[in-house]
Amino acid sequence: MTYLRPNFRHPDAPTNRIGFTEKDYEGALSTLCAGCGHDSISSAIVSACFELSIEPHRVAKLSGIGCSSKTPTYFLSNSHGFNSVHGRMPSVTTGANLANRDLIYLGVSGDGDSASIGLGQFGHVVRRNLNMLYVLENNGCYGLTKGQTSATTDLDSVNKAGVNNPFEPIDLTKLALQLGATFVARSFSGDKEQLVPLIKAAISHRGFAFIDVISPCVTFNNNPGSKKSYDFVREHCEATATIDFVPMQEEITTAYEPGSTKEVTLHDGSVIRLQKPMTDYRPDNRHAALEALHRAEQRGEILTGLLYIDEDPSDLHDTLNTVSTALNALDEEALCPGNKVLQSINRSFR
Amino acid sequence: MEVTNTADPEYFHRVVDCQYACPAHTPVPEYIRLIAQGRYDDAYMINWESNVFPGVLGRTCDRPCEPACRRGRLGKDGSEEPVAICRLKRVAADNKDNILSRLPAIPSNNNGKRIALIGAGPASLTVARDLLPLGYELVLFDEQKVAGGMMRSQIPSFRLPEKVLNEEIDFILRDQVELRLGKRVDSMKAVLDEGFDAVFIGTGAPKGKELNLPGSEECTANIHVGVSWLSSVAFEHTTRIGRRVIVLGGGNTAMDCCRTARRLGGEDVKVVVRSPRETMKASPWEIEDAEHEGIPILNNHVPKEFIVENGRLVGMRFEKVEAQYDENGKRSLVPTGEDPVVIPCDDVLVAVGQENSFPWIERDIGIEFGDWDMLKVDTRTFATTNKKVFVAGDAAIGPENIITAVAQAHQAAISIDKYCMGQAIDDRPAPGHTLISQKMGVHEWSYSSSVADDPRHVVPLIATDKALADRKVEVELGFDRQLGLEEAERCLNCDVQTVFEAKRCIECDACVDICPTDCLTMIGNSEEGQLRENLTFPARNVEQPLFISDDLATGRVMVKDENVCLHCGLCAERCPTGAWDMQKFLYRVTQAGKACQL
């Protein structure tokens, strides 16, 4: 087994705006099963952060437990990391974000971690609109414990032993939409052309951004009859639109036929461009998104792409009216203003 | 683009850059791995079979393999150097045990065919090596008293010790070849009249060019033709040279001349070259070695006159020039108009080129000559227009190098064998090749797949004062076993091929994601120019092939840019279905013998 990736990269590998190559965003060599969709997602995160010229030390990656939650080791080695308790990534992220609002929060979770043990945590982080990217690496099974069906296993999906799943799945994109998430998308680990711009847009979004990434478990859930196998997903994907992300620093140079694209401008001036959108697709309408999801489901299709976005929402810090400076940047006097201030606060409650 | 036909051995052969670039196609990565495993005898024999003179070539080869080495293409802006292939070959030769028992047996009964080999240099010796085990009776002719040809007469002992050369000549001749040494062949007709079944010409390009300038007639005693002078030093007819020496010429012979002069009393030795340094013919490392011994190289100086005073050579006059290129890239050396440069000297060595010389071949015996008095040669069979006469090496094509002579001589040996066996010589044998999986376990390979980061190791040299004190002291000490092992680990194992089977691929992207150099792309097929541009990193080195798979389930194809593949095996390790596999490709040029007879 090779534990180290060779150090050579393509001699023409470019550097980004801040002088890093993509290699500077990589992590350790994956120990997941060969062919795991999660590795492709890690690779997409690496590309997205490289292309956005994010300083690696400005990112905190947080996860729970499971195959998905191992993956932060495999990308962004130079970033902060926190591997938390099963299903509790959202509360750890909430705490971290409230303490230091200057970092980019990248939460990675799986279907077990988010839709079973962590379902409650998931609901609350959505409704609080915490400024973070929540990546759900959704393989529809418990891959780490030999592939039992999970809460997101589709109805009538056949497992490796040939048994049909009799239960309705929990669709976390629908749940997120219903609970007020301000950026909701779905993608497929095998489609980086869609996934990378979605991650870039989600990172640039100020507020809670949720991407449900279908990520086939090549060892336990890639059999015929599975609804989360590479073949099934590839055959049943239906994108809302082709997505393109133009960061704020870049000039928009490509010309498109009028009417063929929709554009969404984010708070920082970045633009999400949606090409060849589906008829009646409206990325700014929560109900339309839910309806589109239902309709695709009835057709037996998987709707991918950007489902919904609120261009400039208020996040948890706005709602709580917190101090605009990260706590670690405040001096002692500001953090501990002393007895006099405490007394006056106490007085205000009487 | 069309689907790549990997069943054609030439495809994978091309991927093994070093082996492909080697005229003899020595399986380089194969012997480097054996060196790393300490199997020096095996490494030596692989070389010996292919290039006949591993010890000699491990010191003197022109190493076309090294500029071709993939490793040299991996660094940003050329920052990575190729594997020291040539000096690793020497490691195998230096550390081998007694390999006599592994040499092919020479049959006690000969096959009744008698072959004359004229000239005892690398070409004739290679033919002898190939034909002796097949039962041929061989007669070797040379004007010198000892076999070796230019390897003995022109390569100085401080680069190639005599005992290394002698040993490898003995491996070939093994007292089984009739030697007619010490007497120059003056008549090809006389040789043919002796009734040989075939005659091989391996006389090289023995004649050094002279330089006729004002003054050259008046001081011939101090103007020497480089190759003749080197030969005279090698056979100890010359033991001294003047204190101040000018060497004219920018090739490897000039480098050997100046370094030899330093050892024969030359204290102030200069190399003077007409052209700019970039276009000097000498190998960069030979230039480096000369400079290391305190020999300046003056470029852009065109010799104009030998300055003679009182019948004695006292110096040379040069005109300074600069290279200018016209729109077709054709170079002319244009005088700069500066004052002429006068360099005082006691002796001049002229190393400005070599020529073939065939005054001994009669023109009425069916051997035709072409332009510049060169033999007419078929460069595939190395036959001349006389069906009994074959030629290879410098004698066939003009001055090249040892490894080219060896490669051609193998082909000539095949032709001689076929001709003597009454077969058509045009029908050439196909190369032998094998392709075998190196998978040992789920994630385990039989080769060292990790890629070492080490920069190229430098070959240790003996102290310059010691080297200059005796012309027979070898300058390079060679890699010891430890350094040899470390250098061997730099080899990327390009012969362990990435073999892809499209029907097993589930397009999970694992290989594409893991590939350190991003040389894999799954993409819609298109014509080559477009496809090369469409890859993750555009494949702009068009010398290097693209691998195109059969159609995948989605209609895309797997494209691999062979240019920067590290052969690290990660694509195969991360492949869940075994669509990628690492398979060792061994390509061997077929040599004379049973394999090429019909």
Q: Is B577 close to A5, i.e. CB distance below 8 A?
A: no
Q: Is A11 close to B518, i.e. CB distance below 8 A?
A: no
Kindly state the tokens that stand for B455.
């920069």
| A268–chain B Cβ distance below 8 A for any pair | no
Query: Is the CB of residue B562 less than 8 Å from the CB of residue B544?
Result: yes
- Going by C-beta distance under 8 Å and a sequence separation of 6 or more, which residues neighbour residue B95? B40, B481, B484
Nearest to B256 by CA among B290, B294, B207: B290
Provide the mean pLDDT of chain A. 93
> Which pLDDT score, from 0 to 100, does residue B318 have?
96
Which ipTM was obtained for this model? 0.91
Q: Is A35 close to B506, i.e. CB distance below 8 A?
A: yes
| A224–chain B Cβ distance below 8 A for any pair | no
Q: What is the mean pLDDT of residues A148-169?
A: 95
**Residues in A touching B568 (Cβ below 8 Å):** 2, 6
Burial of A279 (C-beta count, 10 Å sphere; 0-12/13-18/19+):
exposed
Bridge partners (DSSP) of residue B26 are none
Residue in B with minimal Cα distance to A191: B509
When CB atoms are compared, the residue of B453, B569, B574 closest to A34 is: B574
Kindly state the tokens that stand for B554.
């989605």
> Which pLDDT score, from 0 to 100, does residue A251 have?
66
Residue from B574, B577, B580 to probe the interface with A (highest A Cβ count within 10 Å) = B574
Residue-wise pLDDT for B220-239, tens only, equals 899 999 999 999 999 999 99
**Residues in B touching A43 (Cβ below 8 Å):** 509, 513
> Which pLDDT score, from 0 to 100, does residue B444 have?
86
The dihedral through the CA atoms of A194, A197, A200, A206 has a sign that is: negative
CA distance B229 to B156: 11
- Going by C-beta distance under 8 Å and a sequence separation of 6 or more, which residues neighbour residue A80? A57, A59, A60, A61, A103
Q: What is the mean pLDDT of residues A147-169?
A: 95
Residue-wise pLDDT for A191-243, tens only, equals 999 999 999 999 999 999 999 999 999 999 999 999 999 999 999 999 988 88
Kindly state the tokens that stand for A63.
């996860």
Query: Which domains does chain A possess?
Result: 22-320 (3.40.50.970)
Three state DSSP letters for B338-406: CCCEEEECCEEEECCCEECCCCCCCCCCCCCECHHHCECCCCCCCECCCCCEEECCHHHHCCCCHHHHH
Q: What is the DSSP string of A102-126?
A: TSEEEEEEEHHHHHTTTHHHHHHHH
- Going by C-beta distance under 8 Å and a sequence separation of 6 or more, which residues neighbour residue B561? B519, B521, B532, B535, B537, B539, B544, B546
> Which pLDDT score, from 0 to 100, does residue A255 have?
63
Gap from A41 CA to chain B (nearest CA, Å): 9
| B577–chain A Cβ distance below 8 A for any pair | yes
| A304–chain B Cβ distance below 8 A for any pair | no
Class in CATH terms, B114-206+355-420: alpha beta
Query: Is the CB of residue A276 less than 8 Å from the CB of residue A259?
Result: no
Q: Is B75 close to A1, i.e. CB distance below 8 A?
A: no
pTM: 0.91
> Which pLDDT score, from 0 to 100, does residue B598 have?
47
DSSP A250: S
| B507–chain A Cβ distance below 8 A for any pair | yes
Kindly state the tokens that stand for A157.
């999906």
CA distance A293 to B377: 77
End-to-end CA distance of chain A: give it in Å, rounded: 67
CA distance B586 to B16: 10
CA distance A98 to A128: 12
Gap from A10 CA to chain B (nearest CA, Å): 4
Q: What is the mean pLDDT of residues A62-66?
A: 97
Q: 3-state DSSP call for residue A239?
A: strand
What amino acid occupies position B26? T
Q: Is B516 close to A9, i.e. CB distance below 8 A?
A: yes
CATH number of B208-354: 3.50.50.60
**Residues in B touching A4 (Cβ below 8 Å):** 450
When CB atoms are compared, the residue of A2, A10, A192 closest to B449 is: A2
Residue from B73, B503, B506 to probe the interface with A (highest A Cβ count within 10 Å) = B506
| A139–chain B Cβ distance below 8 A for any pair | no
In which residue ranges of chain B is CATH 3.50.50.60 found? Answer: 114-206+355-420, 208-354
| A14–chain B Cβ distance below 8 A for any pair | no
> Which pLDDT score, from 0 to 100, does residue A256 have?
63
Neighbours of A328 (CB within 10 A): 9
CA distance B411 to B424: 14
Residue-wise pLDDT for B376-424, tens only, equals 999 999 999 999 999 999 999 998 999 999 999 999 999 999 999 999 9
Q: Is B509 close to A190, i.e. CB distance below 8 A?
A: yes
| A82–chain B Cβ distance below 8 A for any pair | no
Beta carbon pairs, A and B, within 8 Å? 100
Q: What is the CA radius of gyration of chain B?
A: 26
Kindly state the tokens that stand for A333.
């006097």
- Going by C-beta distance under 8 Å and a sequence separation of 6 or more, which residues neighbour residue A338? none
When CB atoms are compared, the residue of A1, A39, A216 closest to B513 is: A39
Query: Is the CB of residue B262 less than 8 Å from the CB of residue B269?
Result: yes
| A35–chain B Cβ distance below 8 A for any pair | yes
- Going by C-beta distance under 8 Å and a sequence separation of 6 or more, which residues neighbour residue B231? B153, B154
> Which pLDDT score, from 0 to 100, does residue B535 have?
96
Low pLDDT (below 70) residues in chain B: 594-598
